[in-house]
C-alpha cells in the first residue's frame, strides 16, 4: 500500500510539471494566437495582471493525479495503450467542456478553434498518459 501511495504521489507531481510544459507548448506557443483571435474578449473574463500560476499548477496537478490514479488502477500493460487510453480521456473531457461553452456562451467565435482545442487536449493528455505510464511502470517492476 505504501508503494502504491508513493507511486501515486511521485507520478502525480512529475506528471504535473510535464503537463504544464506540454500545455504551455500546445495551448500557448502553438495555438495561443489563433485561440486568442477566435474567442471573444469578454471584459473581466480573462485575468491578465493577477493571473495565478499557483492555480494553473494546481489544475495540472489535478489532471496528472487523475491520470496517475487511473493508470495505477487499470490493467494497461503497454506504453501505446496508455497513450491511446489517456488520449481518449483528454478528448472526451475537452469535448465536454468545449461543447458546453459553445452551447451556453459566445466565448468561441467559430467551430475550428473548438476542434483544435479538442485535438490538442487529446495530444496533451495522451502525452501525459505516456509519461505517467513510464513513471508508474518503474514502481510496478520493483
pLDDT tens, residue by residue, 15-70: 999 999 999 999 999 999 999 898 888 777 777 788 899 999 999 999 999 999 99
Q: How far apart are CA 109 and CA 61, in angstroms?
A: 30
Helices (H) and strands (E) in the chain, counts: 5, 0
The grid coordinates of residue 89 equal: 480521456
pLDDT, greater one: 48 or 10: 10
Classify 108 as helix, strand or coil.
Answer: strand
In the structure, what pLDDT confidence band is assigned to residue 134 with cuts at 50, 70 and 90? very high
- Annotate 91-127 with b (16+ C-beta within 10 A) or e (fewer): bebbeeebeeeeeeeeebeeeebbebbbebbbbbbbb
Q: Where are the domains of the chain?
A: 2-13+50-141
Mind listing the pLDDT tens digit for each residue in 105-123?
888 889 999 999 999 999 9
How many whole angstroms separate alpha carbon 8 and alpha carbon 61? 12
Q: What pTM, to 2 d.p., does this model score?
A: 0.91
CA 3 to chain centre: 25
The 10s digit of each residue's pLDDT in 70-86 is 999 999 999 999 999 99
Give residue for cell 495551448.
27
Amino acid at each position: 500500500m505504501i508503494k502504491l501511495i508513493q507511486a501515486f504521489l511521485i507520478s502525480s507531481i512529475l506528471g504535473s510539471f510535464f503537463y504544464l510544459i506540454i500545455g504551455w507548448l500546445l495551448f500557448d506557443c502553438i495555438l495561443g494566437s489563433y485561440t486568442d483571435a477566435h474567442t471573444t474578449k469578454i471584459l473581466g473574463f480573462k485575468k491578465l495582471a493577477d493571473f495565478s500560476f499557483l492555480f494553473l499548477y494546481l489544475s495540472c496537478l489535478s489532471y496528472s493525479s487523475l491520470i496517475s490514479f487511473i493508470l495505477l488502477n487499470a490493467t494497461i500493460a503497454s506504453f501505446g495503450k496508455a497513450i491511446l487510453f489517456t488520449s481518449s480521456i483528454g478528448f472526451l473531457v475537452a469535448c465536454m467542456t468545449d461543447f458546453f461553452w459553445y452551447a451556453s456562451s459566445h466565448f468561441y467565435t467559430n467551430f475550428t478553434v473548438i476542434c483544435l482545442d479538442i485535438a490538442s487536449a487529446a495530444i496533451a493528455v495522451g502525452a501525459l498518459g505516456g509519461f505517467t505510464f513510464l513513471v508508474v511502470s518503474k514502481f510496478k517492476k520493483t
